[in-house]
Amino acid sequence: MAALMMVGATATVTPWAKVVAPPIILHHHRRITATCFLRRAFSLKASSLSHQHQEPSPVRVRFAPSPTGNLHVGGARTALFNYLFARSKGGTFVLRIEDTDLERSTKESEEALLRDLSWLGLGWDEGPGVGGDYGPYRQSERNSLYKQYAEKLLESGQVYRCFCSNEELEKMKEVAKLKQLPPVYTGKWANATNEEVEEELTKGTPYTYRFRVPKGNLKINDIIRGEVSWSLDTLGDFVIMRSNGQPVYNFCVTVDDATMAISHVIRAEEHLPNTLRQALIYKALGFPMPYFAHVSLILAPDRSKLSKRHGATSVGQFREMGYLPEAMVNYLALLGWGDGTENEFFTLNQLVEKFTIERVNKSGAVFDSTKLRWMNGQHLRARPSQEVAQLIGDHWKASGLLTVSTGPFVDVRFDSICS
C-alpha cells in the first residue's frame, strides 16, 4: 500500500545457426577398455563477445529458473537482462523450467514464476504455454535426451562407470582433508578393465557416470567479467549421472543450452564456477561454446547477499504491496546497468532501445527500498490520475479494506492523498 501512496511524494566467435540435435546412434553391446584413455594436456578457451567480434546470428538467450520458491528480485533482474538483450538484438527469449529437484519443485511455484514474469511484462518467445521448436521446456520432460547424450559420452570413453559406494567416497574426502588437498575423486574406476566393470554389472552394483577431466587449464572470456581461468587439476572426475539414473544439474544445463541453440548464457555470478564443468561437457559433445556473461549479485544495504532477513525480496511481495510493474522493471534495470547519462526514468521499450550488455557493471549493486519507492512514485505520476485512482481502489479491495474498488470514498481518499 505504501508504494501506491507515493503518488503525492517528492522524492573466439562461434556463430550459432538454428540447430536441431542429430539422432544419436548407440551401440550398447560394444565395450570400451577404459585404460585406452590417457589424460591429455588440455587447454580450452571459450570466447565471449567484444566490440571486435561479430554477433552470432540468431541471438538466443534463456532464463532458466527452478520452481522451488518465489521469484527473487535477483532472478527477475537476470530475466530482465536476458529479455532486453534478446529484444535489442532482434533475438529470441526462451523460458526453461529447471525442475530436476523433484523434492523441492512444485507446480505452485512454477505457476507463480510464470505469473510474476508476465506481470513484469517479460513475455517469452519459447517455453511453457508458448511452445517452440526446441521443446519440451521443462527439464523433467527431457530425461531421455540426457540419457542419450550420457550414453554417447560413455561410448566415446569420455565418461566411465564408477561403482564407488558413498562410504568409499566419504573416506576419500577425509584422506584428502588430512593431506590438505582438494576433496576430488581419486579416479579409482577411471582405468578399470572391461572384466572388472562386467563383474560389478553382473553383481548389480549401483554406479554413476563420471566425466574424465583432462589435465591443463580452462579460460573463458566473460562478456562482463573479462578473462576467467581455472586449473583442471583441482576439479577431479565429476558425476554427470547419479546411480538412480537422474542427471546432475551441470550436465542437464549443458545439454539443454546446446540443443536449444542458446547463443548467450547471461546468468548470476554464483553460476560462474559451474562454467568449468559445462565447458568441458560442451567440448566432449562437440557442441560450439556459447558466450558467457555473469551478472553480479544484488546486495543488501550491509553489502551481504540480499535475503529474506532484509525484508521483501520476491517480485510477488512487491506486487502485493502495490508497486507498479514498470517501476520494478525500471529499478531492476538500474541495479548494475546505466545508459551513460543521468537519466533514471525508463519505460520497458526505452530500456530495449538503450540496453547493451557491455554497460552491465561487474560490481555488486545494493538494493535500496527507498529508491524503489521513489521510482514507483515517478511512474505513478506518469499515469493518468483516474487510472491511479482505479489502481488504489483495486488494491484496497484486494486487501480486504473495501468491498468495491470505485465510488465516492475512493475518490475522496485519492484526492486527500494528492493534496
pLDDT per residue as tens digits for the range 355-389: 999 999 999 999 999 999 999 999 988 887 776 66
Give 325's Cβ-side CA count (13 Å radius). Answer: 12
Q: Which three cell numbers stand for residue 364?
A: 555488486
Cell of 159: 565418461
For range 95-115, the mean pLDDT: 93
How many Å separate Cα 87 from the centre of its chain?
Answer: 18
pLDDT average, residue stretch 391-396: 64
Higher pLDDT, 50 or 75: 75
- Across the range 87-99, mean pLDDT stands at 97
CATH superfamily for 308-418 is Glutamyl-trna Synthetase; Domain 2 (1.10.1160.10)
Question: What interhelical angle do 385-398 and 408-418 show, nearest 10?
Answer: 120
**pLDDT tens per residue across span 303-341:** 888 877 776 789 999 999 889 999 999 999 999 999 999
Per-residue pLDDT, averaged over 337-351, amounts to 96
Count of other CB atoms within 10 angstroms of residue 145 = 18
261, amino acid identity: A
DSSP symbol at 321: T
Q: Is the pLDDT of residue 30 over 90?
A: no
Q: What is the pLDDT of residues 215-271, one digit of tens each?
A: 999 999 999 999 999 999 889 999 999 999 999 999 999 999 999 999 999 999 999
What positions carry a catalytic annotation? 308
Query: Which residues are paired to 292 by β-bridges?
Result: 265
pLDDT (0 to 100) of residue 173: 87
pLDDT of residue 4: 59
Whole-angstrom distance, CA of residue 377 vs CA of residue 4: 8
What cell does 386 get? Answer: 483516474
Q: For residues 46 and 284, what is the distance between their CA atoms, to the nearest angstrom?
A: 14
224 and 360 in contact (C-beta within 8 Å)? yes
Q: Give 176-216 pLDDT, tens digit per residue.
A: 888 888 788 888 999 999 999 999 999 999 999 999 999 99
For the chain, domain boundaries = 308-418
Q: What pLDDT does 291 receive?
A: 97
Q: How far is CA 68 from CA 49, 74, 122, in A?
A: 32, 15, 20
Is 37's pLDDT higher than 70? Answer: no
